[in-house]
Amino acid sequence: MSQEKKKIDHAPMVYFNVQGSDLIIDNRTMSQIACIAGQTPFYVYDRRVILDKIRLFRAHIPKRILLHYAMKANPHPALVSFVAEHVEGLDIASQGELPVALATKTHPEDISFAGPGKTEKELKAAIAAGIVINIESQTELDRALSIGKNLDLSPLLAVRVNPDFELKSSGMKMGGGPKQFGIDAEIVPQVIKQISTSDATFVGLHIFSGSQNLKPEAIIDAHNKTFALADRLVKESGCTLQKLNIGGGFGIPYFPGESHLELEAIGENLERLISEYDSVFAKTELIIELGRYLVGECGLYVSSIVDIKVSRDHTFLITDGGLHHHLSNSGNFGQVIRKNYPVVIANKMGSTTTQNVSVVGPLCTPLDILADKMTLPVAEIGDLVAVYQSGAYGKSASPARFLSHPEVVELFL
Ligand SMILES: *Cc1c(COP(=O)(O)O)cnc(C)c1O
């Protein structure tokens, strides 16, 4: 990791090999992979990187903690099926994700459904499928109970708690204060009571406080508060928990100066919490749900340079790919100040003849930037630009129809 600190142009790029001047995945160069895709732009996901991330998690996080994959990070069916083979459960965020989850080897009771504003139709689908619904409001609870009666099924209900704390230093805060997510901690005991006295099955609590965190101290602090809150809610409501989902929030480095999240201290703290709260949660499945940490680094977004122009002494590499496929790389998905993802010329790796350039897409908007004023090998038309850290919140988080360019292709290798 000390090597990472020296690089200032990019967040650390520790995955994918180089052969000669080519970036390769599974012994194939990017231009060979472009042949398989049949076009640029494409996303390519490397299963070996996902396995590596899961191994890292298992190496540091206690065995008592089960790992779930939050599908909205990347819902590509082949990827989800692969991840499902190696984790204990899936978390979905819409009815659209449900068929993909059900097509995996995961048991329905290990699939949970979170997100505000679940409709009648979505709740019906979840109850018919027998997955766990993380209840986020009183309306949702009333709907789920009446659907259960109508279908003559006992819905599996967990309560998503809007905690009375926030995940500090988080990319996106999703708990604490007034929020559209979850039920305020103060009224959770009465909601649990309502579920427990109904025909539905109360399965537990879901406490998710935020996303994209690179500070172990902040995650440790959130875990401490999450266990304490769950303990308090169990005592106040007199219930027992089959499942306690303590959220996730593990981040990955995207920008210059960032480094990988260290899991050692987080794991040690969880070990301590598990023994401290052993009497309360001895029979409870403890779950961490992760999206981007598992898949963010497995993906590259690859486009071709179609034009190179110099405008008032600054060089622009213009590609056939852009924010319509990869909004988050353009800086328009939750970032306050735009910074560069790691970007390379995939067929000129290691070239020492460099130039400071901006890489832009084909859309008629100044927002369509792949890399802003970055030092890259001197490139030619036809060269391939690869954006790292593109395995999460890529295709599915982008406005594909904007400007009516062709769709991006996804490959899972
Ligand atoms: C989005 C989301 C996740 C995944 O977040 P990542 O930052 O991708 O790990 C997990 N749980 C819930 C409830 C979410 O909404």
SS (H, E, C) 243-276: EEECCCCECCCCCCCCCCCCCHHHHHHHHHHHHH
| CA of 186 relative to ligand 1 center, distance in Å | 23
Cβ of residue 89 lying under 6 Å from some atom of ligand 1:
no
- What does the pLDDT look like over 298-334, one tens digit per residue? 999 999 999 999 999 999 999 999 999 999 999 999 8
> E strand or H helix at 52, and its extent?
helix 47-60
Ligand 1: which residue has its CA nearest to atom 14? 70
Ligand 1: which residue has its CA nearest to atom 3? 70
Tokens standing for 390? 């593109």
Q: 12-24 burial, b if ≥16 CB within 10 A, otherwise e?
A: bbebbeeeeebbb
Q: Is residue 320 a contact partner of residue 327, using CB atoms and an 8 Å limit?
A: no
Among the listed residues 377, 412, 376, 381, the one whose alpha carbon sits nearest the alpha carbon of residue 395: 412
Cβ of residue 91 lying under 6 Å from some atom of ligand 1:
yes
- Mutating to test ligand 1, I would choose from 211, 212, 250, 290 the residue with most ligand atoms within 8 A of its C-beta, which is 211
Strand 17-19's sheet: what is its strand order? 17-19, 22-25, 28-29
- What does the pLDDT look like over 250-307, one tens digit per residue? 999 999 999 999 999 999 999 999 999 999 999 999 999 999 999 999 999 999 999 9
**Position in ligand 1 atom list of the atom nearest CA 171:** 7
**Position in ligand 1 atom list of the atom nearest CA 392:** 8
Ligand 1: which residue has its CA nearest to atom 9? 291
- Does pTM surpass 0.85? yes
Cβ of residue 291 lying under 6 Å from some atom of ligand 1:
yes
Cβ of residue 68 lying under 6 Å from some atom of ligand 1:
no
- What does the pLDDT look like over 217-245, one tens digit per residue? 999 999 999 999 999 999 999 999 999 99
What does the alpha-carbon distance between residue 287 and residue 246 come to, in Å, rounded to a whole number? 6
Ligand 1: which residue has its CA nearest to atom 7? 211
| CA of 171 relative to ligand 1 center, distance in Å | 11
Q: Tokens 């959220």: give the residue.
A: 247
**Position in ligand 1 atom list of the atom nearest CA 114:** 13
Residue 175 pLDDT grade (very low, low, confident, very high; cuts 50, 70, 90): low
Whether the ω angle into residue 12 lies within 30 degrees of 0, i.e. cis, is no
> E strand or H helix at 225, and its extent?
helix 216-237
- What does the pLDDT look like over 37-55, one tens digit per residue? 999 999 999 999 999 999 9
**Position in ligand 1 atom list of the atom nearest CA 212:** 7
Tokens standing for 148? 């259960």
| Residue 243, CA distances (Å) to 43, 71, 106, 195 in order | 35, 19, 16, 15
Cβ of residue 245 lying under 6 Å from some atom of ligand 1:
no
> E strand or H helix at 157, and its extent?
strand 156-162
Cβ of residue 97 lying under 6 Å from some atom of ligand 1:
no
Distance of CA 230 to the CA centre of its chain: 24
Cβ of residue 289 lying under 6 Å from some atom of ligand 1:
yes
The residues, ordered by sequence, that sit 6+ positions from 303 with a Cβ below 8 Å of its Cβ are: 40, 41, 319, 320, 321, 322, 361, 370, 384, 385
What does the alpha-carbon distance between residue 411 and residue 46 come to, in Å, rounded to a whole number? 9
Rounded to 5 degrees, what angle do the CA atoms 114, 74, 227 make?
A: 40
